[in-house]
Amino acid sequence: MSNPARQVNSRRLPPLPGMNKAGNSAKTSHPRSPRSGSYGAYLGQTHDRHVDMMVKGHSPHSNHNGQLKQHLSADYDGHSSPELTLSQDTVTAYLDDNPDYLENYIQSRVSQDQLERWLIRRTHKHHTRHKHGKKSPVNGEIIQDERRESLSRWKFCVHADKRKMLQDLTREIHQHPNKAQVLSELAGCIASAVNADGFNLYLVDDSGQELYHYKPGSSHTKDSSSCTRRIAPGSTLAAYVASAGDTIRVDEILEDERFPEGIVVGGSIAQTVLAQPIVHANGELSGVIELYRNVGGAPFAEEDEEIINSYIVWGSIAVYYAEMYHTMTKQRKLNDFLLAVTRSIFQDIVSMDTVIMKIMNYAKKLVLADRASLFLVDTKTSELYARIFDTGDHYDENSPKPVRSQKEIRFPMDKGVAGHVASTGQILNIQDAYADERFNRDVDLQTGYTTKTILCMPIFIRGSIIGVVQMVNKLSGVFTKSDEESFEMFAVYCGLALHHAKLYDKIRRSEQKYKVALEVLSYHSQCSDEEFESLRNKPVPDELPSLVRYEFSPWAVDNDDKPLYVIYMFRDLFCMARYDMETLYKFTLTIRKNYRTVPYHNWSHAFSVAHAMYTIIKTTKNKFSPLEALGLFVACLCHDLDHRGKTNAFMVKSASPLAAIYSTSTMEHHHFNQTVTILQHEGHNIFKHMSSEEYKQVLGDIRHCILATDLALFFGNKAKLKDMHEKNTFEWDNTEHRKYIQAIAMTGCDLCASIKPWDVQRETVRVIFEEFYAQGDEEKSQGITPMAMMDRSKAYELPQMEVSDCGGHVPCDKPRWCHVHVHLPSLVNIFCLVLECILCCASYM
């Protein structure tokens, strides 16, 4: 078939129906279209006339009401033609039978923009019919091709320029596959397609509560945006559209009261604006595209909305795949990160402290935080504790020793942000720490550090919370939902690492305990049968009146007689009906056997401390219960078992196995464990006739009292007791208050040498410093500078140091000791003796 345009240009118009056939020759008829019948069926044979035709039932201006008057010039013979009135159906039938003519007319007379508008309107009408359940045929034919995808229909109407846009957009997305870049390129294409003078793209932040203006080439984050608005009406057009979820067309943006701020970028010259929300198939809002035309530009029309929707159909697919690519890339990076964590932690589990430092270091890297803290859960006391803190210094993984805090901190599990997470198991993402009532500001005040944002996450193992990791101050912005999801996976590895570190720590401690046990067993042993028989054959005195006096000198008693004095004091204090004498003999002798022959912390010192507690119990008129008194007396007797003549600090510095087992109060914990070990020997358990509850209470009191002899704890106990006294809140019925009294009493008895007569005390000081100087000499041999008190070369400073030491440890002035003697009045004699000794020391200065 020849070109339709060429056919039409080389012939006259076909006759219109309804004309008279007279005077018309068959030779003048035109060729028939394959789909048409005889031209005479329409117009007869009036080909030589100028016809005025009126088509009834159609008007482009009256929406199919009225008539369309059209002049068709045949002008065959120069005569005018009569006016002819035709119906719309007749013209429709003609166009159906002459598609070539219709095609040529549209190609030559109708603009491409008009064609696109027609197709968009047709698509919109079809969508409306289907929306209401209508599928009406057109011209007797069912429109089957309407069921094609909207993207295919839209692609059909796109001219070459728009196809080129999509090609460029696809190429750009391939090079930069992220959601922000895709939407930015998409918005640019849409602006070009609808002839907009400019556009703005707003993206929804990770919280889903705010919009921020995206500028191409920026860091794709809210912090890099110059404009941020909350998703709600009453501010900008974009915020309103994001809140309503509908497309908005505004002809005069400055006159619309719904948007007092108008559009943020370009608002000074923009007049007509079209804003379109970008919504995923799941209903999630991604952003808002804002298109505008400047003053004098044509308003946006319904066709523009259809064009935008067509682009967004494709754009949604592109965004979906861009996000999929981003998710896969992020997951790959997370997998590589977790692999590095696993390799670093599990290949080098040296200690719990090392694992904690590595977890904190990797946690900061994962979510880009400034600081991190790890709190472990103590299920026995329902507390959180930490002994290692991030001070902001660089941590070297190759460093053999992590940075350890000077003091372990503890707090209840229901306190603070970390406590809330440990108690509930919920993740806390706090964007403003000072606005959250659970945040404790005291730490910031003490350190000078400012906490802004917090991400706190529980660490589980076997369904139980074993710790809490707290990240502080994200380096850029706030912690996001993505940070929470990434760290939730990281927390699984943290739990495994901490669990294995604890197991490793238990094994390591067991090995150290085994070494200590071998060392102890090689030196100590139980009392011999000869020692037992010798003590049992000695009669216990009925009365020792001088023993109850504070100034009694235990060092005046022979070492062989001291066990007998212990039996006397035990029998005098407690009802012997519940105790077996042979067991008591063995227990006392084995206690003596387990004291080493060091200058001061030996069996004689233990006897003197037990005697001091005996005098307190005897003279305080049953202030303590029988079980409490028993615990106090036994604790004094055992408080320095297996003492090596060295301080806790020295044990830590010299990397002693004991220091590896006990991180705090090293020797005191060892003394208590030795006590338990002796009680477990056959025939040595003096508490065997007690009930389980009584046994548990006595052991608890012994442990508390022995640990209280650590002078590092004394000052805190003294301050708390003083505070209770000044506030008049002390109550003997309060168990905790009684614990403080017991602790202070233990310290007083441990330092009882200060209350003895001057001649006795002077001899005691001599042996004390003999032990101190021995430690100082050993420290010098290891290249460690000893304390002045332990430095033999500074012995001339001894009187000054003694007075200062007594002033610090012993509450010798009334304002400082009255809070003790008010509750234990008989101790006033002790303080008088202390004052006398201090004056004697001062006389040597």
Which residues have a catalytic role annotated?
601
> What value, to the nearest 5°, has the Cα angle with vertex 771 and ends 767 and 774?
135
Phi/psi for 148 (5° steps) reads -65, 160
CA distance 217 to 720: 61
CA of residue 448 relative to chain centroid, distance? 22
Looking up tokens 């216990």 gives 540
Those residues with Cβ within 8 angstroms of residue 182's Cβ, 6 or more apart along the chain or in another chain:
173, 315, 318, 319, 322
Distances (CA, A) of 396 to 354, 358, 362: 11, 9, 12
Radius of gyration for the alpha carbons in the chain, expressed in angstroms and rounded: 48
With b for 16 or more beta-carbon neighbours within 10 A and e for fewer, the 303-327 pattern comes to bbbbbbbbbbebbbebbeebbeeee
Map residue 455 onto helix, strand or coil.
Answer: strand
Kindly report the number of other CB atoms within 10 A of residue 486's CB atom.
19
Instruction: Assess contact for 555 and 608: CB atoms under 8 A.
Output: yes
Map residue 124 onto helix, strand or coil.
Answer: helix
Kindly report the number of other CB atoms within 10 A of residue 512's CB atom.
17
Strand stretches in 443-513, DSSP E: 454-461, 464-474
DSSP state letters, 80-119 = EEEEEEEEHHHHHHHHHH-HHHHHHHHHHHS-HHHHHHHH
Token pair in block for residue 245: 């979820």
Handedness of CA 75, 77, 81, 85 (dihedral sign): negative
Phi/psi for 441 (5° steps) reads -80, -10
Kindly report the number of other CB atoms within 10 A of residue 477's CB atom.
15
Kindly report the number of other CB atoms within 10 A of residue 455's CB atom.
26
Map residue 20 onto helix, strand or coil.
Answer: coil
With b for 16 or more beta-carbon neighbours within 10 A and e for fewer, the 254-267 pattern comes to eeeeebeebbbbbb
